[in-house]
Structure 1
Amino acid sequence: MDTSATSAAILSNTTSLNATAVIGIIPSFLAASPQLSVFNAFLLSTFMLLFAVIKSQQSSLQGSKQLGRLPPGPMAWPVLGNLPEMLCNKPVFRWIHRLMEEMGTEIACVRLGSTHVVSVTCPKIAAEILKKQDAVFASRPESMAARTFSGGYKSAVLVPHGDQWKKMRRVLTSEIICPARHKWLHEKRVEEADNLIRYVFAQCGASRDVNIRNAARHYSGNVIRNLMFSKRYFGKGMPDGGPGIEEEEHVEALFNALGYLYAFCVSDYFPCLEGLDLDGHERIVKEASETMNKYHDPIVHQRIREWRNSSDIANKEPQDLLDILISVNDSNGQPLLTTEEIKAQTTEIMMAAIDNPSNVVEWTMAEMMNQPELLKRAVEELDRVIGKDRLVQESDIPHLNYIKACAREAFRLHPIAPFNVPHVAMSDTNVAGYFIPKGSHVLVSRLGLGRNPKVWDEPHRFNPERHLGDGVTNLVLTEPDLRFISFSTGRRGCIAASLGTAMTVMLLARLLQGFSWEKVPGSLEIDLSESEHDLFLARPLTVRAEPRLPLHLYPSF
């Protein structure tokens, strides 16, 4: 008997079979082939796996019929769902947004394997998910990259809902990201703002051409390394205040990690395929993790030894965030966090702090180069509020409304990522009249919210004025109505808005106050095209700088 043909016939009719019928088929299948080959055994195992998946999907569909219809989306294949379309349409986020635009919907559902992936571009629906029902959507999906970067789900942001998340969240809110700690670390942030001026000033003495992406990313990297480790460089750095080889490698690894964190990896929807690395994600994630660990782990291990082997620990004072993570104790006076938890949380804080400020400032500068009147108004505000006799400080931020309006507009139009960090439905629920099954991955679209034509006039135009309504005295970068996302909300939202605001506004304000900017000779207009694979500028912004303040204000080497 041709068992291959039998398997094919069974598979072709799987959707019409019930469990009893299948169980009845298996004994006869085995009886017909008492000497099953390895190949036939594999076929049988494959059939059983496919049947289990299909039954699970049928149960999900029956549940959706009982509780309501799923959000609109493309027709899905048996077992695979929309995986073939996903693989043929890269980058996936552009495919999803294109589908939503073609269907004319602000909530959509695609199925990847047995997972429903729901995307949202409407502020009201986003608020229902992140505010009204945030308890239902308080978990995170498990994924190869999240597991790797969180040390096996030992940190706070990437961890599924549970006791570990609650523990690490308490540590962050009470010990790391609190007003007292923000004030305590002020001098370290000022140190890096001064180093930024020093670095760009050095470029003015050379070619005068400044790679804004490079300067912004390394400013952000310097800030978070100083806050975490009390050091700017892992190596010696450069004489002009710029990054050394070690810092360049570290920042590249951080951005690679962020780029592949939730990048629709095939094995995230078909876990049995993990290890085959069919889309190449696993190699990139592994390399990024190894690079970060190479620089973080020796410092963490050495610092733990210094703290836990110290004979005078009672009088030892923390100097940075790593010291805080190591020194926090439980109710019995014992270290609260294990070494692995400290390492995982260190990596997560690094990843969380580096991308938003650098991306916002690069895009803002690029837009200003093409609209010089925006640049002029921003500089006029700086001269009026601060003058030219001192450098802008964090205490000036409440008075720099136009600078903050420019940053808000960049958050709106040019988000760092197409989607917010995914949420997982912990139970069946209904959102906007649609059924969302338990286990669904819900993606709130930063791109869709900020460019929603139902919310914003001329949504693709960079216009900071739209954020300056009557009576605004202290504009903030957060957006409570979710018309765009700068720092997310809800119980899984961003808890470091103060740090993010300080880093973003100081980076932009120092660059605009300290230097006059113009296009590189021969450039008629800055190309504002997005990268094919992400939302960064397709080409790093390079512009020409010239000092505009008295020379004694530029920090010396």
Structure 2
Amino acid sequence: MAVDTVLIVGILLSVVVHLLLRRRLRSNPRLPLPPGPKGIPVLGALPQIGPMAHASLAELAKRYGPIMHLKMGTVRVVVASTAGAARSFLKARDLQFANRPSTISGKDVTYDGQNFVFSNYGPRWKLLRRFSNLHLLGPKAIAEQAQVRADEVGRLLRSMRESSKNSRPVFVQEAVVCSNANIIGQVVLSRRVFAAQGEESSKFKHAVTEMLTGVGLFNISDFVPAIAWMDLQGVQRHLRRAHLRMDAILSEFVAEHQETAHERKGRPDVLDLLLANKVDADGVSLSDVNIRGFIFDMFVAGTDTSSVTIEWALAEMLKNPTILKKAQAEMDQVIGKSRRLEESDIPKLPYLRAICKEALRLHPSTPLGIPHYSFESCEVDGYYIPEKTRLLINIWAIGRDPNVWEDPLEFKPERFLSGKNAHIEPLGNDFELIPFGAGRRICAGMQLGLVFVQYTLGSLVHSFDWKLADDVEELNMEERFGLVLPKAVPLKTAVSPRLADSAYM
């Protein structure tokens, strides 16, 4: 009898302790929320976020600290603004924040969260990640695509040389987007998607820009769902229209791809392989929507982000001509002027790689990264983080932190060649420089993105002398905020060939 009593008491005590622990985890009154602005009724801190949200959040962080809590409408948002704060979330609490938030305005663009980039962490996301690493974005796949990149960059250089002969200006980002889209098109769909830069590629670029701008905006509908039906800022309307245009373009590509399946027998492309591997060994399957969203992501993320970085890097070199000349001198010594740059040359060009890292530091293509989301409450650096909290990593602020970077607002590639920051790489391990994010949701295309930036930028710098177009009076270095951070005014340039004619053939 005594044994039974002890057993019952023990069970009851265990239940009470379990319930108390659950309650503590849920409310945790001993731990404070991170500091942050109080905000106003209904809207919370939304009015304190200006049109350049990354800069507004950086200013608020100077007052409230590296981990900041903001109530925006009905949504809790936590912002990490230093390398240490980012590490606390994306390393110590990586799995906790591996999901993505669902937004009303982004429903169409993300295929209702069924695409690769914005899907929640789970079996389907893991299947797509494994597939992309094996067939598209991993080291072996990237190496196998080298000739495609060489051919398309060659076309880009010849097109720009022709523009020089005819005294036509070069819009850098638009030209690079067209080139990148053709690279992705050949790998994914076995076809170049644009015969040349022109009206079709411009429509594609405009649709991509409109979507990436809209998705990144702090849209009131996403934070106060009760009034979402009014679409006060017009974001949902614009995003839906841009998505329909983009989806129509990709639908045409996919339809043509299906009609030519017999021509690829024995040499499948990425879409062929994806369709043939819709179900993995564990029975996890991909829907047609998952596949459509994956292809959509490859074209959108694979074209705009790297072109934005290249445009900023060239703009900084036009602003600092000494850097441009130093980069050209390095390449002339390693490569000469009788041929163009090859990807195998890049490891021998430390100054070029430093320029690319400096562009990624000062002008990260995604200033606030892709938002993270946690379904459970947790503790981070002594703060209580409630469940259903959206996490933003202010990559832009981290790259400009004066406690890490000397003269943080100056474009100085030399900082990556010697001194305290020379060891830092943008690969997700050094949290002082995380342009691609970090942790298990780090950008799947990081390695390919670096290849795009280094190879294309190096080819442009080596092959041409650069100046602003004759009708451009002043170099504008203002940003335009969105999910991606391009120049507010596109870079319009004039180029002059600097290599032997045979190098462009």
TM-score (norm. length: structure 1): 0.80
1:267–1:274 contact (8 Å) kept in structure 2: yes
Q: Residue 220 of structure 1: CA displacement?
A: 2.6
Cα distance in structure 2, aligned partners of 1:304 and 1:150: 23
Counterpart residue identity of residue 250, structure 2: H
CA, structure 1 residues 471+91, in 2 after alignment: closer, same or farther (shift >3 Å)? closer
- Measure, in 2, the Cα distance between the counterparts of 1:409 and 1:450: 9
Matches within 5 A, 1:379-458: 379-458=328-407
Q: Does 1:542 align with 2:505?
A: no
How many residues matched?
482
Aligned to 2:154: 194
Q: Which amino acid aligns with 2:185?
A: R
**One of 96, 111, 125 as aligned partner of 2:85:** 125
Percentage of pairs with the same residue: 30
Q: Is the 8 A contact 1:127 1:481 kept in 2?
A: no
Matching of residues 23-422 of structure 1 within 5 Å: 66-86=29-49, 89-101=50-62, 103=63, 105-207=65-167, 209-234=169-194, 237=195, 242-304=196-258, 307=261, 315-318=265-268, 320-330=269-279, 336-422=285-371
- C-alpha separation in 2, matches of 1:256 and 1:511: 26
Change (3 A) 1:538 1:454: same
Structure 2 counterpart of 1:526, one-letter code: L
Q: What CA distance in whole angstroms lies between the structure 1 residues aligned with 2:84 and 2:75?
A: 24
Per the TM alignment, residue 479 of structure 1 is displaced from its structure 2 partner at its CA by 5.2
Distance 2:459 2:474 in 1: 24
Q: Are positions 1:464 and 2:413 aligned together? A: yes
Residues 75-114 of structure 1 show CA distances to partners (whole Å, capped at 9, x for unaligned) of 133444334545xx3343333223223x152221111123
C-alpha contact 1:208 1:546 (8 A) present in aligned 2: no
Q: Secondary structure at 1:462's aligned position in 2?
A: coil
Alpha-carbon RMSD across the aligned residues, in angstroms, is 2.9
Q: Partners of 2:339 and 2:251 in 1: how far apart?
A: 39
Give the letter aligned to residue 139 of structure 2: P
Answer yes or no: is the 8 Å Cα contact 2:214–2:235 preserved in 1: yes
Deviations 1:218-276 (CA, angstroms, capped at 9, x unpaired): 23333223332233335xx4xxxx41222111121112211222422222223343332
Residues 171/404 of structure 1: CA separation in 2 closer, same or farther (3 Å cut) = same
Counterpart CA distance in 2 for 1:447 and 1:475 is 16
Q: Specify whether residues 212 and 376 from structure 1 end up closer, same or farther in structure 2 by C-alpha distance, changes over 3 A only.
A: same
Partner letter of residue 142 of structure 2?
Answer: H
What is the deviation of 1:305? 6.2
Q: 1: distance between equivalents of 2:30 and 2:96?
A: 16
Q: Tell me the distance in 2 between the aligned counterparts of 1:503 and 1:386.
A: 19
Q: Is the 8 A contact 1:155 1:168 kept in 2?
A: no
Distance 2:425 2:112 in 1: 35
Superposed CA offset, 1:430-487 (max 9, x none): 2222211111111001111001111111100000000112799999543521112222
* C-alpha spacing 1:260/1:184, structure 2 compared with 1 (3 Å): same
Task: Return the alpha-carbon distance in structure 1 between the equivalents of residues 351 and 424 of structure 2.
Answer: 9
Separation in 2, partners of 1:244, 1:523: 22
Deviation at 1:147, TM superposition (A): 3.0
State which drifts further: 328-337 or 180-189.
328-337
> Residue 136 of structure 1: CA displacement?
0.7
* CA displacement 1:356-402 (0-9 Å, x = unmatched): 22111211111111222111110011111111121111111211211
Deviates more, 1:212-221 or 1:139-148: 212-221
Post-superposition offset of 1:427 = 1.6
Secondary structure of 1:275's counterpart equals helix
Q: Indicate the residue corresponding to 1:54 in structure 2.
A: none
Give the superposition deviation at 1:64: 5.3
Of 498-507 and 477-486, more deviation after overlay is shown by: 477-486
Deviation of 1:170 after TM superposition, in Å, equals 2.8
Letter in 1 for 2:182: N
Alignment counterpart, residue 491 of structure 1, candidates 416, 420, 440: 440
Deviation track 1:115-139 (CA, whole Å, cap 9, x = no partner) reads: 2111111101101111121011111
Q: Which has the higher contact order (CA 8 A, sep 6+)?
A: 2
Distance 1:259 1:298, change over 3 A: same
Instruction: Out of 167-176 and 464-473, give the one that drifted further.
Output: 464-473
When residues 484 and 333 of structure 1 are mapped into structure 2, their CA distance, relative to the original with a 3 A threshold, is: closer
Which deviates the most, 150-159 or 367-376?
Answer: 150-159
Q: Give unpaired runs (5+ residues) of structure 1.
A: 1-59
More divergent stretch after superposition (212-221 vs 510-519): 212-221
Q: Which residue identity does 1:122 align to in structure 2?
A: T
What SS does structure 2 have at the residue aligned with 1:483? coil
Q: Is the 8 A contact 1:412 1:450 kept in 2?
A: yes
SS in 2 for 1:96: helix
Q: What residue ranges of structure 2 are gaps of 5+ in the alignment?
A: 1-22
* TM-score scaled by length of structure 2: 0.87
Q: What is the rounded CA distance, in whole Å, between the counterparts of 1:494 and 1:270 in structure 2?
A: 29
> Contact (CA 8 Å) 1:420, 1:444: kept in 2 or not?
yes
CA contact (8 A) 2:463 2:498 kept: yes
Q: CA deviation at 1:324?
A: 2.3
Deviation per residue, 1:195-228 (Å, 9 max, x gap):
1101110111111532223323323333223332
Change (3 A) 1:547 1:61: farther
**1:539 is aligned with what amino acid?**
V
With over 3 angstroms needed to count, the CA separation of the structure-2 counterparts of 1:522 and 1:203, relative to structure 1, is: closer
